Structure 1
Amino acid sequence: MTTSERWLTSPWRRSAVVALAGALPVLAFPAPSLWWFAYVALVPWLLLARSAPTGRRAAYDGWCGGFGYLVAVHHWLLPSLHVFIFLIGALLGLLWMPWGWLVRRYLGGTPSPGRCAVALLVLPSGWLLVELVRSWQGLGGPWGILGASQWQVAPALRLASVGGVWLLSFLVVAVNVAAAVLIAVRGARMPAVATVLATAAATTAAWAWAPRPEIDGRTRIAVVQPGVVAGRDSPEVRFDREEQLTRRLVGQNVDLVVWGESSVGYDLADRPDLSRRIAALSRATGADVLVNVDARRSDQPGIYKSSVLIGPNGPTGDRYDKMRLVPFGEYIPARSVLGWATSVGKAAGEDRRRGTEQVVMNVGHGLRIGPLICFETAFPDMSRHLAEDGADVLLGQSSTSTFQHSWAPEQHASLAALRAAETGRPMVHATLTGVSAVYGPGGQRLGPWLGTDASTARVYDVPLAHGITPYVRYGDWPVHVALLVLAALCAGEGVRALRPRRGGPEPLVPPARTAHGSPARPGR
């Protein structure tokens, strides 16, 4: 036993090391954005789980690594959730326990080439199932999906148009498993090399043959980002600054003006003066203005976050109410049990109300837009449905001002690149305090990001495309393939467990007899 192996015999030391190994992939996400690191970041975690002395310990390694992964990619929530971030990481980290067990099951000891080949299919499928389960809105949503780390890689964006972020996650994990096999299993390198070559071939094929969005028009969209206004970010001061910045757009021939999330802090039915001021801006700029109202409704009980379109004559009647709310940030799950979270962090004092359906809005110049609000831009299915419903442009209105000096604004802005690539529709990500960004139909960035230090209005010349990507047409097919793989695995394990064993009680054999017919006595 080596010194390092002896050191890891302590359960607590081993758990800490595995948690650190699980946290490594965070470096592939913004702000560091070391996208290439994603293809080897899981290798230390895989090698540790592979070397676990028992299947139970391997499951614990899956749990500890999952805890480290989740806390790392959500570390910017620490000032808001305090101890809750560790509790959430521990609970959701349980999802990786079967994955850790599978790592040892297929890579532990001296696995045969056949077992390694199966691992290269099973382990990415298991990872994808974990991502699918934790992507449920009530569990925090699909933030930190491993494939999302590839948002700035052009070939990866082409793959996203085929199978969404799920296909990227599958391939990234497969390459990590192949790298672990190359390092630790000398006799099974052929399957690992074949996996790397197959991934390169799939990427090349997607680059060459996947349908490309054909540009068939252009529109000019302005993003208004007021920034933090002199440390006095009250709704009135913020509105004044947004109004001032929007007036700079007069004469720039824009087709739409977009304000960020919570850009209007009052219900417009109660404040007709604000509606008139925004309508005046619409007349002056010659464009409709999409604002976001975060206020208690006068016509409905409760507080809503709503995208509201305002034209030269006032509100057009187009309104979208946010459907997927941020756990703890906008509502507290099981408030009767967990309501005390408001006393230890910045949890929602009152639950926001949910909208019931997605909306595609018609704006001037024949443009159809599909709004999403903040957290919702992380969900691939929402942008896909808007593309199916005929949206020309996807619009994300966000804030992230609570996390101004963290990695959150950059991580959030990067998600829009994937939503654009998946759907073949350009996407505008407009925020209050940065980072704002705009992407073309292929996920390519249009112009520079508006950082967290910017207070400005910027016009983007946005290309339009209306083709149907394979992802929009076929949906989350990589997830379905992964589920089939795991179902086949479970069926195979079940058959193996039920199959009668070859060994068993030996049959009764009559004792040998002598020539006289009496039983022979055994010799001494």
Structure 2
Amino acid sequence: MTTHWLASPRRRTGLAVLAGALPVLAFPAPSLWWWAYGALVPWLLLVRTAPSGRRALYEGWAGGFGFMLGMHHWLLPSLNVFTFVIAGLLGALWAPWGWVVRRLLGGEYDRRPGRKEAAVALVVLPSGWLAVELVRSWQGLGGPWGMLGASQWEVGPALRLASVGGVWLLTLLVVAVNTAVALLVAASVPCASADRASASRTSDDLTPVDPTPSPRPLALAALLALAVLTVAVSVAAPRPETTGRARIALVQAGVVDGPDRRFEREERLTRELVGQDVDLIVWGESSVGYDLKDRPDLAKRLAALAGATGADLLVNVDARRSDRPGIYKSSILVGPDGPTGDRYDKMRLVPFGEYIPARSLLGWATSVGKAAGEDRRRGTAQTVMEAGPELRFGPMICFETAFPDMSRNLARKGVDLLVAQSSTSSFQHSWAPAQHASLAALRAAETGRTFVHATLTGDSVVHGPDGRRIGRALGTSVSGTAVYEVPLSDSLTVYDRYGDWAVYAALLALAGYAVSVLRGRTPRARPARTVRESPARPVR
């Protein structure tokens, strides 16, 4: 790319949006996990050549917009133009990150970052990205969907890292590798702005001199250290200890119109499990469309299924409750004698899908898409349930599987198994079902618990305590059942014990950098120096 070609602000903005969207290919459905380790490099190299700090802020926002739009593109049929509004608002979180990229990796009149700047960049840029993910992980801003580390859900060594530092540690690893690769490229390709500065000097009396030590050796050393660290942790991290086994059955209704027809199909499919000696049967999210207290006939039919199969049923009720105002989504355990009294009400709702944040301000989203016409009500606490005499499990509902702290909290409460009920039927033919199902691998590896992801219409999957998939998945084209014999575990992983220590380390690094910036002591990419040549003396 020539300097003139990159001079157009409009062209740079378009490139920033495209570059920001590149990491999306590392997630399902493409699932090119290896792509994540270089996907940020074009964005980094573009922002480092920004002609000003203000421009770097803008290109950080533009890249964030591209990333958020690409990650949530499957929302377009439901939210229409409001999808762009959401991407624009969330993309602004990357604006400060863009400013820091320019400060450490390049900038006007700079040829390349030095070793000090490179060393700081290898710590600060991954930490800055993690801070962005931390902020947008707040449920009111949409939650932690599409965390960069989540792209590594099918990589064994990465899952071992997750058991130590959660998905946060994986994000730090991925961004650090991208930063090191960008440094290698920057060491060879000068900033376009530096070329302009050199071209403006008179060649007769000035000679560009770039005394900045190359960051290439440091970048190579960083890549080697990250590889060694990943392998070391993969080998040394403790494995979950198996304390028993259980047989779990999933019932996936498939696409069925109407709650009555859906219930009838789920009832028929469940009867196919008679005689299969299962310990727990799980239906998907919104599998029951009526409050069971209002419909005792449905409660009796569920109890009959539990008696016939010899296993408790975990169903999910999406209905207006009879004992309190509002609509709830609830996991309810049903035994041979009816509902056991174990109930979990969903705590973290899907923005716009189940409630509208600041409805008085953003309520217009209902007029342009399929946003929630009425806000669902929230539960107040997580619940541990017991199926039979020995199986303790923790239920979650749909969107909640994106939050690492919810699975970790249940593991610390002593559950043997994690169970999530989900439905992505509104996005049946998009990337959403596969993206959602992949989160089960991360939550399993983080907590050292088998994770059961049961959906209404696919993809339904089960991942063992090491994060690896068990058995076959029920895809979006399947209406049927599957039985899985799964290992149980009650041991705690490093992440269970120490939680989000990687986040705290990143925030500490950013705080130190911020203090240094305020004091004017931070290293930054330096301008190339020039020296005046002495005029040639005539030979006498």
Question: TM-score of the superposition, structure 1-length normalised?
Answer: 0.93
* Counterpart in the other structure of 1:504: none
* Counterpart in the other structure of 2:434: 410
For the Cα contact (< 8 Å) 2:344–2:379, is it kept in 1? yes
Question: Which of 99, 102, 106 in structure 2 is aligned with 1:101?
Answer: 99
2:57 corresponds to which letter in structure 1?
A
Question: Which of 61, 76, 87 in structure 1 is aligned with 2:85?
Answer: 87
- Give the secondary-structure state (helix, strand or coil) at the position aligned to 1:309: strand
- Give the secondary-structure state (helix, strand or coil) at the position aligned to 1:348: coil
How do 1:129-208 residues align onto structure 2 when only pairs under 5 Å count?
129-186=131-188, 187-208=214-235
1:383 corresponds to which letter in structure 2?
S
- Over residues 370-402 of structure 1, what are the superposed CA-to-partner deviations in whole Å (9 max), with x where a residue is unaligned? 000000000000000000011111111000000
Shift of the 497–119 alpha-carbon distance from structure 1 to 2, 3 Å rule, reads closer
* Counterpart in the other structure of 1:220: 247
- Over residues 248-303 of structure 1, what are the superposed CA-to-partner deviations in whole Å (9 max), with x where a residue is unaligned? 00000000000000000000000000000000000011000000000000001000
User: Aligned partners of 1:193, 1:497: CA distance in 2, in Å?
Assistant: 26
- Give the secondary-structure state (helix, strand or coil) at the position aligned to 1:448: coil
For the Cα contact (< 8 Å) 2:166–2:495, is it kept in 1? yes
- Over residues 284-337 of structure 1, what are the superposed CA-to-partner deviations in whole Å (9 max), with x where a residue is unaligned? 110000000000000010000000000000000000000000111000111122
For the Cα contact (< 8 Å) 2:417–2:489, is it kept in 1? no
- Over residues 119-143 of structure 1, what are the superposed CA-to-partner deviations in whole Å (9 max), with x where a residue is unaligned? 0000000000000000100000000
* Counterpart in the other structure of 1:344: 368
Q: CA shift at 1:496, angstroms?
A: 2.1
- Over residues 483-523 of structure 1, what are the superposed CA-to-partner deviations in whole Å (9 max), with x where a residue is unaligned? 0000000111122279xxxxxxxxxxxxxxxxxxxxxxxxx
Task: State yes or no: 1:8 paired with 2:6.
Answer: yes
* Counterpart in the other structure of 2:39: 41
User: Aligned partners of 1:303, 1:165: CA distance in 2, in Å?
Assistant: 32
Q: How high is the sequence identity, in percent, across the aligned residues?
A: 70
2:78 corresponds to which letter in structure 1?
S
* Counterpart in the other structure of 1:507: none
Task: State yes or no: 1:483 paired with 2:485.
Answer: no
* Counterpart in the other structure of 1:374: 398
* Counterpart in the other structure of 1:126: 128
User: Aligned partners of 1:445, 1:452: CA distance in 2, in Å?
Assistant: 17
Question: TM-score of the superposition, structure 2-length normalised?
Answer: 0.90
Task: State yes or no: 1:116 paired with 2:143.
Answer: no
Consecutive unaligned residues of structure 1, counting only runs of 5 or more, are 499-524
1:133 corresponds to which letter in structure 2?
V
- Give the secondary-structure state (helix, strand or coil) at the position aligned to 1:284: helix
1:189 corresponds to which letter in structure 2?
R
* Counterpart in the other structure of 2:27: 29
User: Aligned partners of 2:6, 2:291: CA distance in 1, in Å?
Assistant: 59
* Counterpart in the other structure of 2:207: none
* Counterpart in the other structure of 2:294: 270
User: Aligned partners of 2:519, 2:186: CA distance in 1, in Å?
Assistant: 30
Q: CA shift at 1:7, angstroms?
A: 2.5
User: Aligned partners of 2:180, 2:77: CA distance in 1, in Å?
Assistant: 38
User: Aligned partners of 2:235, 2:147: CA distance in 1, in Å?
Assistant: 26
- Give the secondary-structure state (helix, strand or coil) at the position aligned to 1:395: strand
- Give the secondary-structure state (helix, strand or coil) at the position aligned to 2:243: strand
- Give the secondary-structure state (helix, strand or coil) at the position aligned to 1:219: strand
For the Cα contact (< 8 Å) 2:19–2:42, is it kept in 1? yes
User: Aligned partners of 2:389, 2:423: CA distance in 1, in Å?
Assistant: 28
* Counterpart in the other structure of 2:468: 444
* Counterpart in the other structure of 1:293: 317
User: Aligned partners of 1:82, 1:183: CA distance in 2, in Å?
Assistant: 39
User: Aligned partners of 1:340, 1:173: CA distance in 2, in Å?
Assistant: 37
Q: How many residues align?
A: 493
* Counterpart in the other structure of 1:72: 70
- Give the secondary-structure state (helix, strand or coil) at the position aligned to 1:117: helix
Task: State yes or no: 1:315 paired with 2:313.
Answer: no
User: Aligned partners of 1:218, 1:345: CA distance in 2, in Å?
Assistant: 45
User: Aligned partners of 2:94, 2:321: CA distance in 1, in Å?
Assistant: 42
User: Aligned partners of 1:30, 1:495: CA distance in 2, in Å?
Assistant: 44
User: Aligned partners of 1:346, 1:203: CA distance in 2, in Å?
Assistant: 43
User: Aligned partners of 2:254, 2:423: CA distance in 1, in Å?
Assistant: 10
- Over residues 53-111 of structure 1, what are the superposed CA-to-partner deviations in whole Å (9 max), with x where a residue is unaligned? 11111111110000000000111011111111111111111110111011111110321
User: Aligned partners of 2:225, 2:175: CA distance in 1, in Å?
Assistant: 13
For the Cα contact (< 8 Å) 1:255–1:365, is it kept in 2? no
How do 1:44-59 residues align onto structure 2 when only pairs under 5 Å count?
44-59=42-57
For the Cα contact (< 8 Å) 1:310–1:316, is it kept in 2? yes
How do 1:381-420 residues align onto structure 2 when only pairs under 5 Å count?
381-420=405-444
Question: Which of 454, 458, 466 in structure 2 is aligned with 1:434?
Answer: 458
User: Aligned partners of 2:363, 2:510: CA distance in 1, in Å?
Assistant: 38
- Over residues 332-374 of structure 1, what are the superposed CA-to-partner deviations in whole Å (9 max), with x where a residue is unaligned? 1111222221111000010000000000101114101100000
1:453 corresponds to which letter in structure 2?
S
2:98 corresponds to which letter in structure 1?
G
Choose between structure 1 and 2 for higher RCO, CA contacts under 8 A separated by at least 6 residues: 2
For the Cα contact (< 8 Å) 1:435–1:452, is it kept in 2? yes
Task: State yes or no: 1:210 paired with 2:210.
Answer: no
Consecutive unaligned residues of structure 2, counting only runs of 5 or more, are 189-213, 523-540
Q: CA shift at 1:216, angstroms?
A: 2.1
User: Aligned partners of 2:49, 2:34: CA distance in 1, in Å?
Assistant: 26
User: Aligned partners of 1:373, 1:291: CA distance in 2, in Å?
Assistant: 11
User: Aligned partners of 2:65, 2:303: CA distance in 1, in Å?
Assistant: 49
The CA RMSD measured in Å over matched residues stands at 1.0
310-319 vs 337-346, which deviates more? 337-346
* Counterpart in the other structure of 1:505: none
- Give the secondary-structure state (helix, strand or coil) at the position aligned to 2:69: helix
- Give the secondary-structure state (helix, strand or coil) at the position aligned to 1:331: coil
For the Cα contact (< 8 Å) 1:225–1:260, is it kept in 2? yes
User: Aligned partners of 2:362, 2:133: CA distance in 1, in Å?
Assistant: 25
For the Cα contact (< 8 Å) 2:471–2:484, is it kept in 1? yes
1:302 corresponds to which letter in structure 2?
G
1:79 corresponds to which letter in structure 2?
P
- Give the secondary-structure state (helix, strand or coil) at the position aligned to 2:215: helix
For the Cα contact (< 8 Å) 2:20–2:43, is it kept in 1? yes
- Over residues 417-438 of structure 1, what are the superposed CA-to-partner deviations in whole Å (9 max), with x where a residue is unaligned? 0000000000000000000000
Q: Once superposed, which parts of structure 1, at least 4 consecutive aligned residues long, lie more than 4 Å away?
A: none
